[in-house]
Chain A
Amino acid sequence: MAAPFVTLDQVSFDGRGHRALDQVSLRLSARSTFILGPNGAGKSVLLRVMHGLLQPSAGEVRWEPMSAAWPSGLAAGTPVGVGDTEKIATKTLSGARKPRLAMVFQRPVMLRRSVLDNVMYGMAAQGAAVGMAADIAQRAPAAANIAQRAQDVLARVGLAHLAQRPARVLSGGEQQRVALARAWALKPDVLLLDEPTASLDPHAVRAVEAIIREIAAAGTAIIMTTHHRGVAKRLADDIVFLHHGRVAEHTAARQFFDEPVSQSGRDYLKGDLE
């Protein structure tokens, strides 16, 4: 079992009068971890606390610096992503940089500009932030590279033909694919996804699933919440099952779907919880 890349230590979160997370302790190490649970279990809150969008009321979240322990095999020197000379160069330095996180939300947030500009926006923001960071290992991609990388990523999600279309006129499924492209273009070490297929039709769900699979294969760790058991079965290595803000179980996916350890897990799979 690989060493954990993120640790949650007795994390609690109190929001709007009730305790959304209750003393959650987790150590994630799998390439792809899916968080399951009934409505109101605290899945979305857990994801946001991990990302840093929400501050825990108690406990702490620790992301390990990049190292050989990472599932992405970065430090091991495997080239990742598209035309990726910077990444290869990184491994020769101490490699102890902070992991890059990206998140895709249930409802894709499209800026009022073209699809291509949306994808480039994320990279430009990263470039700007990096310019101020002392971490010289992360050189910001040059302007021309940004446009090229954006085009490539859009091609990989099958939306190259829509590059100049105003992003807001796209369908829900297409917008979600743009959001994925935008996140992927950042070459994140971890991709967090909050029920990304919740409001999509089956065709769009399949397209999104294929993209997530590709991103995972390219070396990004996946942490995803979903109600969609089929996707979870196909993509997950590990399952974290949440119930009433507590971790009811954290097991390998095959184990969970065959024979859940917890009673609530069993009830959930039977369909008795929702």
Chain B
Amino acid sequence: MTSIAASFADAFALTLSLDAQLYAIIALTLKVGITSAVISAVLGAALGAGVAAGKFPGRSMLIVLFNAAMGLPPVVAGLLVYLLLSRAGPLGAFGLLFTPSAMVIAQVLLITPVVAALSRQIIEDAWREYEEQLTSLGVSRARAALTLLWDTRFSLATVGLAGLGRALAEVGAVMIVGGNIDGVTRVMTTAIALETSKGDLPLALALGVILLGIVLLLNLAAYLLREWSVRRYG
């Protein structure tokens, strides 16, 4: 039976070994994860702000849809993107299937609703507080949306981190649209799935510990950045 302590030791040893293949996988994980998170954050915040500050028919329906889309199963998202990008599908000509770009697309599909739904709530609460004063000052809707985005930046940053966490943890969608190709689309999560399949549980666990370590480091960096910002801006 693999002990957790042993896997921590293995993880440490693995990291220090500077294994080229491992570091390539880590690099790709960060590239895909951060790209997905940033695109989703921008899209989601824009959508969230637009819905929060806007008044248009079907708004309530859109809010319900976003909230529901938060529960979109990754494997379903993966399947949908697979069918879209497959050569037999509508976007097949771009040849994006089994590339990191496909993985980013699938993850953006998964994470944007989360960011949009959460930021909408955050921005709507802020709008309720600011609406009268901003209207009195004659601020345009567009400018108001930007002001809300900036003023809620700390809460939004937390939402962004949630998106990043989701991206790094995701395996179902990226497995389907990426194909877990060695050296091309293999990320930490799919590598862990593969090693588990091969029955190499100690290695799988060690990789898992490394992934957790990376996530922890990212969150620590974000926390420190936030602390500094709060001290400067209040």
State yes or no: do A and B come from one complex: yes
Q: Contact between A105 and B234 (Cβ–Cβ < 8 Å)?
A: no
Would you give the shortest CB distance from B155 to chain A, in whole angstroms?
Answer: 10
116-145 of chain B: CB within 8 A of chain A:
129-130, 132-140, 143
> Which of B137, B140, B152, B233 interacts with A113 by CB under 8 Å?
B233
Question: Number of A residues whose C-beta is below 8 Å from B?
Answer: 25
A118 to B133, CA, bound (A): 12
Interface residues of B (CB under 8 A from A): 129-130, 132-140, 143, 147, 150-153, 232-234
Q: Contact between B138 and A129 (Cβ–Cβ < 8 Å)?
A: yes
Would you give the shortest CB distance from A223 to chain B, in whole angstroms?
Answer: 13
Residues of B near A122 (CB, < 8 A) are 137
> Which of B129, B132, B136, B140 interacts with A102 by CB under 8 Å?
B136
Cβ contacts A87-126/B at 8 Å (1 or 0 each)? 0000000000000011101000101111000000110011
Known contacts A109-B129, A112-B151; is A169 also within 8 Å of B234 by CB? yes
Residues of B near A129 (CB, < 8 A) are 138-140
Residues of A near B147 (CB, < 8 A) are 111, 121
Name the residue in B130, B136, B138, B147 with the highest tally of chain A Cβ atoms < 10 Å from its Cβ. Answer: B136
- The answer to the question of A128 belonging to the interface, with a C-beta cut-off of 8 Å to chain B, is yes
Residues of B near A53 (CB, < 8 A) are 132, 135-136
Q: Contact between B234 and A167 (Cβ–Cβ < 8 Å)?
A: yes
- The answer to the question of A166 belonging to the interface, with a C-beta cut-off of 8 Å to chain B, is yes
Residues of A near B140 (CB, < 8 A) are 125, 128-129
List 4 other contacts, CB 8 Å, given A121-B137, A125-B134.
A51-B136, A101-B136, A122-B137, A125-B143
Q: Contact between A125 and B234 (Cβ–Cβ < 8 Å)?
A: no
A105 to B136, CA, bound (A): 10
Would you give the shortest CB distance from B125 to chain A, in whole angstroms?
Answer: 13
Residues of A near B234 (CB, < 8 A) are 112-114, 165-169
Closest chain B residue to A109 by CB distance?
B133
A100 to B77, CA, bound (A): 52
Residues of A near B150 (CB, < 8 A) are 112-113
Would you give the shortest CB distance from A49 to chain B, in whole angstroms?
Answer: 13
Closest chain A residue to B126 by CB distance?
A112
Q: Contact between A125 and B136 (Cβ–Cβ < 8 Å)?
A: no
Residues of A near B134 (CB, < 8 A) are 109, 125
Residues of B near A169 (CB, < 8 A) are 234
20-71 of chain A: CB within 8 A of chain B:
48, 51, 53
Q: Contact between A126 and B233 (Cβ–Cβ < 8 Å)?
A: no
Cβ contacts A120-146/B at 8 Å (1 or 0 each)? 011001101100000000000000000
